[in-house]
Amino acid sequence: MKKIAVFVSGSGSNLQAIIDACESGYISKGKIEIVFSNKEDAYGLQRAKKHNIKTLFLSPDDFKTREEYDKVVATKMNELNIDLICLAGYMRILTPVFLDTFKGKIMNIHPALLPEFGGKGMYGIYVHKAVLKAGKKESGCTVHFVDYGTDTGPVILQRKVPVLDGDTPEILQKRVLEQEHLAYKEAIKLFTEDKLEIIQKKVKIKE
Ligand code: GRF
């Protein structure tokens, strides 16, 4: 059984989808060991508690640097023998100290079809505003491994949605979010079944 840590800063609807997938048996070789947050009031922490999942909150204000914060978080994750870290609306960029500890074991979900609409400032509703402004006919979501860049890591899988006439950023966001919930659990299932391999920055899905 692979031990999963989910990192959240907000609502945690993706976390909920992962919890549900574990409880239903869709993800049968993984278990959420802990939900971690940098925000005390993240609703994701409540969701975890409702399902009797361990939670941890660490306030960034208690640390001098981001590296020191990340070092402590990495230590906590190591103590729990975490196999996979899933960022699900975790609004902090991880420092190399953390990334090096969990190389190839950190996933993120992004609400656009990377490599487009990723990077600095591309989060939340801004992503969908940018997609509409660019006149795109489709959008979607991407689950990827995390590397040193922002939203630049190897893509695991993507799910697409159409952009429709009359879409507002909020409507598009909702349509994409529904697909995120499907994509994330699928990627986690693949990881926990040892079906993902990173070969020269590309993810290969094994049969
Ligand atoms: C999602 O849109 C995800 O793609 C992005 O942050 C949002 C988190 O939503 N990284 P939720 O907290 O899972 O509802």
Residues 182-196 pLDDT 10s: 999 999 999 999 999
**Per-residue pLDDT band at 147 (split at 50, 70, 90):** very high
**E-only strand ranges, 65-179:** 84-87, 106-110, 138-145, 155-162
89 Cα–ligand 1 center, Å:
4
Residues 40-74 pLDDT 10s: 999 999 999 999 999 999 999 999 999 999 999 99
Which phi-psi region, left, alpha or beta, contains residue 7 (left: φ > 0; alpha: ψ -120 to 50)?
beta
Q: Ligand 1: does its nearest atom lie under 6 Å from the Cβ of 180? A: yes
Residues with a known catalytic role: 110
Angle at 11 between CA 4 and CA 165, to 5 degrees: 115
For a pocket test of ligand 1, which of 11, 14, 39, 47 has the largest count of ligand atoms closer than 8 A to its C-beta?
Answer: 14
Residues 154-189 pLDDT 10s: 999 999 999 999 999 999 999 999 999 999 999 999
pLDDT of residue 51: 98
29 Cα–ligand 1 center, Å:
24
Mean pLDDT for 132-148 is: 97
Angle at 106 between CA 100 and CA 108, to 5 degrees: 135
Tell whether omega for the bond before 162 is within 30 degrees of 0, i.e. cis.
no
Question: pLDDT exceeding 90 applies to what percent of the chain?
Answer: 99
Mean pLDDT for 143-159 is: 96
Residue in the structure block whose two tokens are 């909702």: 174
Q: Give yes or no for a contact between 61 and 67, defined as CB atoms under 8 angstroms apart.
A: no
Mean pLDDT for 98-127 is: 96
Q: Ligand 1: does its nearest atom lie under 6 Å from the Cβ of 152? A: no
Q: Whose CA is nearest to atom 7 of ligand 1?
A: 89
144 Cα–ligand 1 center, Å:
14
Q: Ligand 1: does its nearest atom lie under 6 Å from the Cβ of 12? A: yes
92 Cα–ligand 1 center, Å:
13
Q: What is the pTM of this model?
A: 0.96
pLDDT of residue 26: 98
Q: Give me the residue spans of the domains in the chain.
A: 2-205
Q: Ligand 1: does its nearest atom lie under 6 Å from the Cβ of 34? A: no
**Per-residue pLDDT band at 115 (split at 50, 70, 90):** very high
In the three-class reduction of DSSP (H, G, I as helix; E, B as strand; rest coil), residue 192 is classed as helix
Which phi-psi region, left, alpha or beta, contains residue 20 (left: φ > 0; alpha: ψ -120 to 50)?
alpha
Closest CA to 77 of 58, 52, 51, 59: 58
Number of helical H runs and strand E runs in the chain = 6, 9
Q: Give yes or no for a contact between 93 and 150, defined as CB atoms under 8 angstroms apart.
A: yes
Q: Ligand 1: does its nearest atom lie under 6 Å from the Cβ of 143? A: no
Does the pLDDT at position 207 exceed 90? Answer: no
CATH code matching the domain that covers 2-205, chosen among 1.10.3720.10, 3.40.50.170, 1.10.3470.10, 3.40.640.10:
3.40.50.170
Q: Ligand 1: does its nearest atom lie under 6 Å from the Cβ of 107? A: no
Mean pLDDT for 111-137 is: 97
Cβ-based neighbour number of residue 3 at 10 Å: 16
**Per-residue pLDDT band at 128 (split at 50, 70, 90):** very high
- The DSSP letter of residue 164 is -
